[in-house]
């Protein structure tokens, strides 16, 4: 089963949901704001992707973060930061057969599901 993680109200999430629904691809949605995120899962993602890929640096949550935190960000600090502010994680995060895809681009999804 495809797993998709994010925040339901996010516009990019809505585009991904629509694409998956229109393509008749079944998935399970995991909402960060409803407890879908935990430390072991987050550590696994950071180990696989690195915190640099996981954090949405274009988002307002990252931009509001103090410079000291930004300049000293590490895997450990990212775990703590993202557990406290999951809206900072790029969305959606989609898992298909242990392959993680960040963000939504229709062409990437087409290739992933072809």
Closest by CA position to 89, among listed 65, 55, 57: 55
Dist. CA 86–CA 98, nearest whole Å: 21
Q: Could you confirm whether 41 is annotated as catalytic? A: no
Longest dimension (CA), the chain: 45
Dist. CA 102–CA 105, nearest whole Å: 9
Axis-axis angle for helices 39-49, 75-84 (nearest 10): 130
Whether the bond between 83 and the residue before it is cis, its omega within 30 degrees of 0, is no
Set 10, 25, 65, 100: catalytic member: 10
Question: Catalytic residue positions?
Answer: 10
């Amino acid at each position: 089963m495809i797993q998709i993680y994010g925040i339901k109200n996010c516009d990019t999430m809505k585009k991904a949901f629509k694409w998956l629904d229109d393509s008749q691809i079944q998935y399970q949605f995991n909402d960060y704001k409803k407890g879908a995120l935990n430390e072991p899962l987050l550590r696994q993602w950071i180990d696989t992707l690195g915190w640099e890929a996981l954090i949405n640096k274009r988002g307002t949550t990252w931009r509001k973060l103090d410079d000291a935190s930004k300049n000293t960000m590490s895997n450990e600090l990212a775990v703590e930061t993202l557990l406290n502010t999951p809206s900072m994680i790029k969305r959606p995060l989609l898992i298909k057969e242990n392959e993680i895809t960040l963000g939504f681009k229709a062409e990437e999804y087409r290739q992933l599901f072809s």
